[in-house]
Structure 1
Amino acid sequence: MKKTHQSTDHSDVCSICYTRPNMPLVPPLNFAMIASGVYRSGHPNKQNFAFLRKLGLKTILYFAIEDYPDEMQHFVKQEDIQVFQYRTEGNKEPFSEVNHKDITHALVKLLDKRCHPILIHCLKGKHRIGCLVGCLRRIQNWSMTSIFDEYRRFAGTKVLADQEFIEMFDRTLVPYDPTYKPAWLQD
């Protein structure tokens, strides 16, 4: 029986996107599943690409002022992932607040199963994403105690401005299409 030799030269494959078969999968900082097909994290980096590829992402919602680094731009283009960037700052008393329009737009995307699998992230996956997830939990009719408990697991002790934002958020103003709502969203 003749053995065939497989080349290990992968020079024709993008070095950022190629992963070796035995390479460990490394999730981004503060990664977690929010609901089926919906994930949260801090800013992904090159070491996280193989892990993200396994998720089969269709959409990323990115909450940060900064543009994606070149390697991340290349990755999302290579994987044909649609990215929505929200250039919003976090809630910082007394003058800075997450943009309500950005949160509402992001929630519409989260509540549209055509965008799934979807990743939402900011730089560390704590405060801005915590506010977004808290507002999603309001739509899911979670108790405020449970919402803030989940928020603190990721964000730690800085809660007052974010807590107020989540409490004051009017979930009835999120215009999602019931035809495309995910199975995990109850009316």
Structure 2
Amino acid sequence: MQLVSPLYFSFVQPKLCRGSYPREINLAFLKTLQLKYIVSLTPDPITDNPVLSKFCEEQGIEAVHIRCTGTYSKDKPKVKRKKKPVPIEYDVVVRCVQFLINKNHYPCYIHCSNGQLVTSLVIACLRKLCYWSTVSIFNEYLTYMSSINIHERKFIENFNLEIEVNGLDMTDKAPWILASKMKTAGENDLLPSLRFHGI
């Protein structure tokens, strides 16, 4: 049996992987990951697809849909990507963080329609919670995108929200997402932070 990974597939962290919208040809590969969750950053949930819905049911995978309407429509006039606004809002990133911070949600596969722009923006913002340098974040981003426009750069750089995390025991926090760090003078107000409310 041939195993075919989704386009742009890679591991973000152990037990967290990313890629494009799963196709039927990818299901045998995804089965090997023993996933608990698939997080879809798409206009419609993958459960609308009968093949993917059946796959999730058979494998005991819970499909989580975080609605993201930022896809490029054929009906809209063509605009060069360097002039296009970012196709997601910060609330999409916040909802992803609130879900992915719980280690009990792993193994997990996160995807958008093509595995590039929306997923890359979310992962770039997640990297800020790991205190990656801006250079490292943009280098990883450019692995999946041929370039980064000014809107995408600003979206990532300006992601400095305080994210509320409710009802999570600190022992269940994913170890790769840092809860706090002493900021240097130059970092003030540039990094996102997490505020935990225990159970």
Same fold (TM over 0.5): yes
More displaced stretch, 47-56 vs 77-86? 77-86
The 1:159/1:90 distance shift into structure 2, 3 A limit, reads: farther
Which residue number in structure 1 is paired with residue 185 of structure 2? Answer: none
Q: Indicate the residue corresponding to 2:39 in structure 1.
A: 61
1:72-92 C-alpha deviation (Å, 9 max, x unpaired): 111112112111112213498
Q: Distance in 2 between matches of 1:183 and 1:95?
A: 33
Alignment correspondent of 2:125: 135
Alignment partners' CA distance in 2, 1:94 and 1:108: 27
1:185 pairs with one of 172, 177, 185: 177
Match of 1:112, as an amino acid?
Answer: N
TM-aligned CA distance change 1:61 to 1:76, over 3 Å: same
Q: CA RMSD in A?
A: 2.0
Q: Of 36, 46, 68, which aligns to 1:88? A: 68
- Counterparts of 2:31 and 2:160 in 1: how far apart (Å)? 35
Residues 26 and 72 of structure 1: is their aligned pair in 2 closer, same or farther, counting only changes over 3 Å? same
Aligned residue in 1 for 2:52: 72
Secondary structure of 2:165 counterpart: coil
- Trace 1:23-172 onto structure 2 (pairs within 5 A): 23-68=1-46, 69-90=49-70, 97-172=87-162
> Following TM superposition, by how much is the alpha carbon of 1:28 offset from its aligned partner in structure 2, in angstroms?
0.5
What amino acid does structure 1 have at the position aligned with 2:44? E
**Contact 1:139 / 1:171 at 8 angstroms: preserved in 2?**
no
**Which region of structure 1 is more displaced relative to structure 2, 84-93 or 134-143?**
84-93
Q: Residue type of the partner of 2:36?
A: K
Larger radius of gyration: 1
Greater CA drift, 170-179 or 26-35: 170-179
Say if 2:6 and 2:26, in contact at 8 Å, map to a contact too. Answer: yes
Shift of residue 172, structure 1, vs aligned partner: 2.9
Q: Report if aligned partners of 1:90, 1:127 keep a CA contact under 8 Å in 2.
A: no
Q: TM-score, normalised by structure 1?
A: 0.80
CA 1:43–1:150 in 2, change beyond 3 Å: closer, same or farther?
same
Deviation, 1:117, is 0.3
Instruction: Note the C-alpha offset of 1:97.
Output: 4.0
| Identity across matched positions, percent | 27
Question: Does the C-alpha gap of structure 1 residues 24 and 97 become closer, same or farther in structure 2, counting only changes over 3 Å?
Answer: closer
Instruction: Report the residue type matching 1:38 in the other structure.
Output: L
